Chain A
């Protein structure tokens, strides 16, 4: 009884903490100055329509580098905790033929769609994180449908390391080519034409590297969770 009372009091306290946020909130009618500066410099300096991509890759690029590091550490933790041991493997039933053929037809299309999303991240909604996740869901489809499907772990780790190193190298290139105050500045490549694929500096390349890194890391998370420590 006392436990329920304490739980109720704790929830009431949390609700009270959020009370001023909800009461004093009014939907703003115009952008605040920071967002306005981001919008105008994304359009004028970087020649990029998608302002969210401009913030993620360029203006808040150091945060994104940190987030990718956190993602890598979490993936490494999952792989360490669920590493291969001598437990007996759980029996898996083979999927039906329709399922297998449909999945092997759809999975390459889903992966190509993921590549499309992260190469066009600076023009349309999407980008490295979304594209990487879509690629991982294509690999998940194959893992679910086909019993004998397995991908090369060395290849996945190679792609992951290569894209991580490439991301840092692109950041350092901006530092060396433009000036010593411009780590992660994508403007060392030409701005290009408005709404063309090779535009807005190095942003498509950096976001593609992020997409490959996220996709390979989430694929290895799915593989670790699927085997779960069994052989």
Chain B
């Protein structure tokens, strides 16, 4: 619950940064803050009270029936959000690097990082 609220606050702060800052690098920092907030929300949704990590080792209480099938008795957290966030973080780094390389090329070509200097798409 607490982590959920702080994730929402991080998303709002990141969008605030993207809306008010003029510098392109600062806008990309806002994007990465939004990224972290979304990951926090997804992980917080998968949490279960007093549960252990989704790895079936000696810390997890298991029992097996006659046919040999193993049943997990104690609580573990939901593994699906973990699996989603795991890949999303790596993709987030690659996308951030792509945005930054766009910014570097813009600076090399036109010598400015201020978003107000790019008026081609304004109307």
Contacts and interface: CB of A to CB of B under 8 A. Distances in A.
Contacts of A129: 86-87, 89-90
Interface stretch (B25-33, B97-105, B111-119): B97-105
B49 A27 contact: yes
Among B11, B16, B20, B86, the most chain A Cβ lie within 10 Å of the Cβ of: B86
Which size bracket describes the interface of A in this complex?
Answer: 35 or more
A50 B83 CA distance: 11
The binding surface of chain B is classed by DSSP as helix
A218 B98 CA distance: 12
Contacts of B102: 81
A107 interface: no
A38 B79 contact: yes
Interface in A26-46: 27-32, 34-35, 38-40, 42-44
Interface residues of B, number: 48
Contacts of B100: 225
Interface of A: 7, 10-11, 14-15, 18, 21-22, 25, 27-32, 34-35, 38-40, 42-44, 49-52, 54-56, 60, 63-64, 67, 70-71, 74-75, 77-78, 81-82, 87, 124-125, 127, 129, 133, 195, 214, 217-218, 221, 224-225, 228-229
A121 B120 CA distance: 49
Contacts of A228: 104
B94 A39 contact: no
**Nearest 3 A-B pairs (CB), nearest first?**
A74-B94, A55-B83, A51-B79
A109 B8 CA distance: 39
Contacts of A32: 78
